Amino acid sequence: MSDTAHFPGQVPLHTALSGRELLDCPVLNKGNAFDRRERDLFGLHGLLPARIATLAEQVDLACMRLAALPDNFARHIALREIQDRNETLFYAIIDQAPESWLPIIYTPAIGRACQQFSQIWTRPRGLFLNYTDRGRIAEILASPQWDGVRVIVASDGGSILGIGDQGANGMAIPIGKLSLYTACGGLDPACALPVLLDVGTDNAALLADPDYIGWRHARVRGAEYDAFIAEFVTAVAARWPDIALHWEDLSGADALRILRRYRGSLCTYNDDIQGTAGVTAGALLAAIRAGAAPLADQRIVIFGAGGAGCGIADLLAQMMMRAGMAAHEARSRFFMVDINGLVCHGMEGVTEGQMPCAQPADVAADWQVADPAHVTLAEVMAHVCPTTLIGTSGQGGAFTRQIVAPMARQAARPVVFALSNPTANIEALPADLLEWTDGRAIIGTGGPFAPVTHAGRTRPVDQINNSYVFPGVGLAVMAGGITRMTDGMFLAAADALAGLSPAVGAGGGHDAALLPPVSALRPVAMAVARAVIRQGQAEGVAPAMPETGIEAMLAAAMWSPRYRPYEKTPPARP
């Protein structure tokens, strides 16, 4: 390898760091790819071996080492260590084969990473804002190292995937989500800030674990919790008026309350509620275009009436209303089932989020059920004859043959989306869903599954994952100057995603995928961002610009994992 600069035509990046400080900065470190000129300029001689490598050579070596590890969890840990040393190398590895690496850096490996985060955590990344820091949050955020932040993913670790309260171990989720923002949506990793709001935990095993890194205290709730969140949001809005604040894995009631409280005052959204709804709506639109019942004929059962289930019902109801259906009619098409049975008005414990799509109190008056006060999923399925069944329950195996098979007798192409994560919590396996519906079901899952063969035909299994939506949303905020996130933007994202469906292009064939391949997530993010910006302009929450301006801004905002030449920032004048 020549010892001259190997970055022809690239704009130099200026930095004041040098020596060990430069090598210790993961967003700037190149390892032994620093060329001789840069080693002279930044005082790196003696700190690096003589050989000068290319990024491609570093990727090949890293992949060889990763392949030699015993399992995907070991690879997850090794990749996180690479990310903490050299972010460009980390993303170049993922960019080489995203369909292979994304399940390792996020779902399903991220579930175990949360459970063992205290054991695998080695180097600070992002911010742990502890309840004991109240009164000082603005001071902590004021550090100059955060000047370039544009996207924050914040969690309190209260409701992680299907594994519940993980306390400070939930930091694996903001780190992982922001990794997907970059890998799938081109967010510059220097603009990303993961935040764990440590308000304690009610997980007894964590509190008893001597290795637990979080605040050893029962989870703070009620007014004290709300005041802590308010201090954080106020500090964020003052520090970064144009920030995108993404909430992740908050406890159910907290998630909806916080979203409704703050969505009018800054650009904030909850991915569990809105992102899940957006990708599910996009997948259902694609399914309809590929042969499922028309939107006007849809009857939808949602098993799991927490934030994700309520978000899906609300956005799909808005989609029906946009198509011309009256509001009361649209909301009557949804039958949400939770631990207390079919959600109806007047039931004890009905939440604010469940109310819009709750059924009338007497809906089951003429049904043959064991207990009218607790109508089960099987009883709902038998009486409603749904066209679509969606699972967000976290209850593995909840969809049985008894529940699913009747759908195939009522609908030519029944839709079954078993969305719970991690994989052990999925409501039904794809192979079973196809068997129970004579291969006619249009299926999707929350986690990755290999293609399934049924009756001699091999079918892809669509992963209906939020990574099809939220990276494009973040890119839209970065490029389009969006000041607020609206439900209309998530409907626009769903439309854009459905428009890219291979099933639509294939004329609805049974063997076609609903969603684009994982390898196409960057083009998907561009399409989603384009649609979100246009919708933001239509709603007056994004500045007007011509189409050419949108394209130029999106291209400029899209970061790619490649090394740039470095120049020394001149010292400030006294």
Q: What is the pLDDT of residues 329-375, one digit of tens each?
A: 999 999 999 999 999 999 988 999 999 999 999 999 999 999 999 99
Q: Is the pLDDT of residue 510 over 90?
A: no
Residue-level pLDDT at 250: 94
- Give me the phi and psi of 35, to 5 degrees please: -80, 175
Confidence of residue 161 (pLDDT cuts 50, 70, 90): confident
Q: What is the pLDDT of residues 428-462, one digit of tens each?
A: 999 999 999 999 999 999 989 999 999 999 999 99
Residue-averaged pLDDT of the chain: 94
Give the C-alpha distances (Å, rounded to integers) separating 124 from 120, 145, 149, 214, 536: 12, 14, 17, 13, 36
Q: Is the pLDDT of residue 424 over 90?
A: no
- Give me the phi and psi of 44, to 5 degrees please: -100, -5
User: Is 87 or 251 the better-scoring residue by pLDDT?
Assistant: 87
Least confident span in 3-17, 182-196, 428-442, 498-512:
3-17
* DSSP code string of 55-80: HHHHHHHHHHHHHTSSSHHHHHHHHH
Confidence of residue 506 (pLDDT cuts 50, 70, 90): low
Degrees to nearest 5, angle at CA 372 with 371 and 373? 90
* DSSP code string of 127-160: EEEEGGGTT-HHHHHT-GGGTT--EEEEE-SSSB
What is the distance between the alpha carbons of residues 430 and 424, in angstroms, rounded to a whole number? 13
Residue-level pLDDT at 509: 56
Residue-level pLDDT at 3: 41
Q: Is the pLDDT of residue 131 over 80?
A: yes
Instruction: Name the residues annotated as catalytic.
Output: 106, 177
Residue-level pLDDT at 8: 53
351-362 burial: b if 16+ Cβ within 10 Å, else e: bebbeebbbeee
What is the distance between the alpha carbons of residues 392 and 312, in angstroms, rounded to a whole number? 10
What is the distance between the alpha carbons of residues 399 and 384, in angstroms, rounded to a whole number? 16
Give the C-alpha distances (Å, rounded to integers) separating 285 from 76, 149, 316, 493: 34, 35, 10, 11
Q: Is the pLDDT of residue 184 over 50?
A: yes
> Span 76-90, mean pLDDT?
98
DSSP letter for 247, please: E
- pTM assigned to the model: 0.94
Residue-level pLDDT at 432: 97
SS3 338: strand
* Residues whose CB falls within 8 Å of the CB of residue 281, separated by 6 or more in sequence, listed in order: 312, 315, 316, 319, 490, 491, 494
Residue-level pLDDT at 96: 95
Containing 280, the helix (H) or strand (E) segment is helix 276-289
Q: What is the pLDDT of residues 470-479, one digit of tens each?
A: 999 999 999 9
Percent residues over pLDDT 70 in the chain: 97
DSSP letter for 423, please: G
What is the distance between the alpha carbons of residues 280 and 543, in angstroms, rounded to a whole number? 28
SS3 106: coil
SS3 string, 299-335, reads CEEEECCCHHHHHHHHHHHHHHHHCCCCHHHHHHCEE
Angle, helices 72-85 vs 98-105, to 10°: value is: 90
Q: In this structure, what token pair is assigned to residue 414?
A: 């029944």
